[in-house]
Amino acid sequence: MKANILINKKAGKNFVIFWSAYKGKPRVCRILLSKNSRLFPDSVISSCPRIDKLVEQITAFLDGRKIKFGLDTIQLDLCPDFQKKVLLQAAKITFGTTCTYQAIADRLGKPKAWRAVGSALAGNPFPIIIPCHRIVRSDGSFGDYQGGKRMKEFLLKREAGRLHKIFPKKEE
């Protein structure tokens, strides 16, 4: 699969989107919260209206606007099954709220898998769209983030996230 790349460098909001056509539509394969595109020298720098709209949404989100991202622009099928389940749970965490790794493990019916949840989120190929920055440790500390701890703290403070405001328990 030949990847296309779009590098956003607007007003310090640096990120790279790797995308390709999938089933006839542009789909995001990976988002990097970095400006280093030299890691992928064979990629083609390009865009299309759907990817341009996503860039606008991510930039608006980083500017502090409340944006609800759809999952129709990302290729979740590139993720292993467990990671996909974790990412789908993380996608349910709404703007301004937080959740713990343990709560996601519980929601998946695997209460001892909180570390596996953390590992799945550490490899989240779609940061911002799948808001893994909203997941914190059970003790309330932030934990790690691929954009860096300072970025995670910035995003959580901007969203005014509160620990223990967790999405509803699993329906019986």
What does the pLDDT read at residue 172?
Answer: 39
The pLDDT of residue 11 is 47
For 36, the token pair is 């280093």
As a whole number of Å, the end-to-end CA separation of the chain is 42
Average pLDDT, the chain: 81
Residue listed under structure tokens 């779009």: 6
- pLDDT of residue 37 exceeding 70, the answer is no
> Which of 28-37, 39-48, 50-59, 70-79 is least confident?
39-48
Given a cut of 70, whether residue 163 has pLDDT beyond it is: no
Judged against a pLDDT cut of 50, whether residue 46 lies above it is answered with yes
Active site residue 79: no
For residue 164, pLDDT over 50 is answered with no
Checking phi first, is residue 125 left (phi over 0); if not, alpha (psi -120 to 50) or beta?
A: alpha
Between 149 and 79, the higher pLDDT residue: 79
The Cα 54–Cα 110 span in angstroms is 33
Which of 29, 79, 99, 132 is catalytic? The answer is 132
Reply yes or no on domain 80-159 having CATH 1.10.10.10. Answer: yes
Q: Which of 53, 40, 35 is nearest to 4 (CA)?
A: 40
The answer for residues whose C-beta is within 8 angstroms of residue 74's C-beta and 6 or more apart is 27, 28, 125, 126, 129, 130
Find which of 23-27, 48-52, 87-91, 126-130 is predicted with most confidence, using mean pLDDT: 87-91
Per DSSP, the three-state class of 133 is helix
Cα within 13 Å of Cα(129), Cβ side: 27
Would the pLDDT of 143 be above 80? Answer: yes
